[in-house]
Amino acid sequence: MRVMMRTGHALLWAILLGATSFGAEARADIIDDLEPGQWVEIPNTAMRDVCPLNTANYDFNYHCAAVISAWGGATLDTTRGRLVLWGGGHADYKGNEVYVFDVGSLTWERLWGPTPEAQIPGGGTHEVYDDGNPGSRHTYSGLSYVPAPVDGFLSMGGSLWQSGNYSAATWSFSFQTGTWFRKTDGPSGGGGYGDPSAYDPQTGHVFRRLNARMLEYDPVADTFADRAESDGGFWQSNVAVAIDPEVRLMVFVGDERVDLYHLATDQYEQGVTIVGATVTDLFTVPPGIGFDSSQKKFILWGGGLDVYHFDPEALSFLLHEGSGDDPGPVTTSGGVFGRFRYVPSRNVFIRVNSVDENVFAFRLAPGTGTPLPGSDAGAGGSPGTGGGGGSTGTGGTSGAGASGATTSGEEGGCGCRAAGGERSGLSPWLFALLASVALRRRRF
């Protein structure tokens, strides 16, 4: 009898090991196999699939391309591991919907919007649509994600639908409630539609560069503070930006130069002298920049397989030759902006270039990433509801809400995926099987 039980136990554990191994293999995805220095094209990840449907009067599904192509920016929801896109504006696109690409499930979702067409006014300048939600705009590098207690993304600046005029407003979209809030407007003077901004995790504040000076924004207190001033103007509209929170350094990369802002000392260096090849030598369009928090490096991409490391101490660029699937050239207006981002949860950079192109991922160094901060991190705006009305703060009104969102894939951060795609724990039927064997063993 004991022999029979030992045999049964061996068979059981073989089944368990086989089941868990099969499950892990089934949950692995194309990013898991990436080697250092390698790019991969992620199949079936064209954003157009979740764009709004056309109406009788407006081709939303066609014009949604401008969310990316027309000076469109992005930011990274670090709580859920999602790239967040919001854009359009000027004469390109009037839709104001929010899109996310979940780097865990490798799927797109239209998380919110757009405002119903009947409530989108035509002609003129429209900071706010008739439902109280923000008007569409070019977003450049003006989007920043702020973790809890805000847990949402901010938009500062931009070029508004339909006139193209500059936006002085600060808008916040809450992932917890799925609603927009208009916060304190930025300063009336010295701003521009391409103002770059970035979140600093040490202070919990967002640093924004205007033409005349730097600003520090406290998203909890909803206040701006003046920082370093410019002698002759910082102006660059096509700029990408990233922060090293430990070194306290903010790096701006634009059309022709690199600027540095030292957060701790409030010192701004404009047009630093680069040793060796310059930005214009290396890139035909303004590149994107992301800070690799695992390697402590600023990484730039401006098309093709190769990426570059910017060394702020040596003031030089170091080439990292890429391999694998070629992401191709940058085809969007103005450059890359925030659509090249490092994702710590997967240890990859994500690149988005067009609504009709697949998303690409690049891994610089070994490792599968760090787990997301919580198993309950997937509470986004409610799909299918449009997130409700546009309750606003300073200078705002309340709106009736937008049309329902189209969902593609599961909400990110569901707690079912650790780094590399593993699932913790055993399924209920396996627990039941183990319990049954344990009871039978006690009887013998």
Q: 224: domain CATH number?
A: 2.120.10.80
Q: Name the band, by pLDDT with cuts 50, 70 and 90, for residue 262.
A: very high
Task: Check whether residue 57 and residue 18 sit in a common domain.
Answer: no
- What pLDDT is recorded for position 192? 76
- Judge if 386 and 430 occupy the same domain: no
Question: Residue 102 falls within a domain, yes or no?
Answer: yes
Angle between helices 428-443 and 2-27 (to 10 degrees): 170
The reply to whether 94 falls in a domain is yes
Range with lowest mean pLDDT among 78-92, 132-146, 416-430: 416-430
Measured between alpha carbons, how far is 131 from 116 in angstroms, rounded to an integer?
Answer: 8
Instruction: Give a yes or no: residue 210 inside a domain.
Output: yes
DSSP at 48: G
- Which segment of 120-124, 205-209, 218-222 scores lowest on mean pLDDT? 120-124
Residue 419 domain flag: no
CB 62 within 8 A of CB 134: no
C-alpha span between 29 and 21 (Å, rounded): 14
Residue 429 has pLDDT above 50, yes or no: no
Kindly state whether residues 6 and 42 are assigned to the same domain. Answer: no
pLDDT in tens, 346-374: 999 999 999 999 999 999 999 999 989 76
| Residue 7 and residue 84 in one domain | no
- Is residue 14 located within the same domain as residue 73? no
Query: Which segment, 1-10, 184-193, 279-288, is predicted with the most confidence on average?
Result: 279-288
Is it the case that residue 103 has pLDDT exceeding 80?
yes
Q: Distance (Å, rounded) from C-alpha 193 to C-alpha 167?
A: 7
Helices first, then strands: H and E counts in the chain? 5, 27
Q: Are residues 277 and 246 in the same domain?
A: yes
* Beta strands 323-324 and 38-41, pairing class: parallel
Q: Are residues 266 and 168 in the same domain?
A: yes
284-313 pLDDT tens trace:
999 999 999 999 999 999 999 999 999 999
Amino acid, res. 404: G
In the chain, the amino acid numbered 194 is: G
Give which of 102, 140, 119, 432 is closest to 288, Cα–Cα: 140
The whole domain housing 202 covers 38-413
Q: What's the pLDDT band for 170 if we cut at 50, 70, 90?
A: very high
DSSP codes joined into one string, 222-258: TEEEEEEEPSS----SS-EEEEETTTTEEEEE-SS-E
Query: Is 343 within the bounds of a domain?
Result: yes
For residues 156 and 20, membership in a common domain is answered with no
Judge if 305 and 434 occupy the same domain: no
Span 5-54, pLDDT tens digits: 333 444 333 333 343 333 333 347 999 999 999 999 999 999 999 999 99
How many structural domains comprise the chain? Answer: 2
Provide the H-helix boundaries in 50-175: 60-63, 66-69
Structure tokens of 388? 């409700």
**pLDDT above 50: residue 444:** no
- Give tens-digit pLDDT for 309-341: 999 999 999 999 999 999 999 999 999 999 999
Q: What is the mean pLDDT of the chain?
A: 83
Do 125 and 256 belong together in one domain? yes
pLDDT value of position 389: 35
With tokens 């299918």, the residue in question is 384
- Res. 259: pLDDT tops 50: yes
Q: Has residue 420 been placed in a domain?
A: no
The pLDDT value recorded for residue 322 is: 98
Do 16 and 90 have their domain in common?
no
Is residue 418 domain-resident?
Answer: no
pLDDT at 392: 35
- Overall average pLDDT of the 164-174 stretch: 95
- Residue the block writes with tokens 């919907």: 97
pLDDT(414) > 80: no
Could you give the CA distance from residue 53 to residue 216 in angstroms, rounded to a whole number? 39
Residues 194 and 263 in one domain: yes
